[in-house]
Amino acid sequence: MGPVEDELDETRAAVDSSAAGAGIPIVDAPVPPPSGWSDPLTGADGPHYWDRILVNEGARVRRYKRASTVVLVEVTGLSRLARQWGPDVAERALVMAGRQLAREIRPSDHIARIDQVRFGVLLTETSEIEAINFVERARTSCEAELEFAEGVVGVAFGWASPPKGAGLIEASALAAERLNAELRDN
């Protein structure tokens, strides 16, 4: 493994331990985890693609001093939905949320299912402040799409732009901290 893969592994470990330390379950649903370059379940890209895009776009952000924001989205309550209505309904809710998120991004943005119930969105040419518009629009549209399971299934968001002198991998870790804070608060 090279230095980039080592950095990605360290970031993943920090995000996982941060979630576990906050009492947040890392796995929340009876759906298969994504693997590889694409996620056939939701039609989004997969975790390998996400890792590659963070590295490649991160280099562009650093070199050209361009704005980009990482948004992490977690679909919550799928285990409860599966217990009430069955695992196929929980899987369908995840697919509906993922497809709704994909409808909200621009062609220049990227979306990937990066964990069992978590999506990563990279908003290119978008500052952290500008990303609020996407987050609110995506939250509203996902909640409307999942209205059939209102009170059981929800979506939580965390977003961040790279801190000064840092890249998208660091922004991803910061977005994960903010997502975990929203999950704790709700």
pLDDT in tens, 22-60: 444 444 457 889 989 999 999 999 999 999 999 999 999
Report DSSP state, residue 22.
T
State what percent of residues in the chain have pLDDT above 90. 74
In sequence order, which ranges of the chain are alpha helices (DSSP H)?
3-21, 47-64, 78-85, 87-104, 128-145, 168-185
Could you tell me the two tokens for 45? Answer: 């890209």
| Residue 142: predicted pLDDT | 97
CA distance 68 to 122: 7
Could you tell me the two tokens for 59? Answer: 């280099």
Query: For 96-118, what is each residue's pLDDT tens digit?
Result: 999 999 999 999 999 999 999 99
**Residue 9: which pLDDT band, with cuts at 50, 70 and 90?**
low
Q: What is the CATH number of the domain that holds 159?
A: 3.30.70.270
Structural domain including 12 reads 3-185
> Domains in the chain: how many in total?
1
pTM for this entry: 0.84
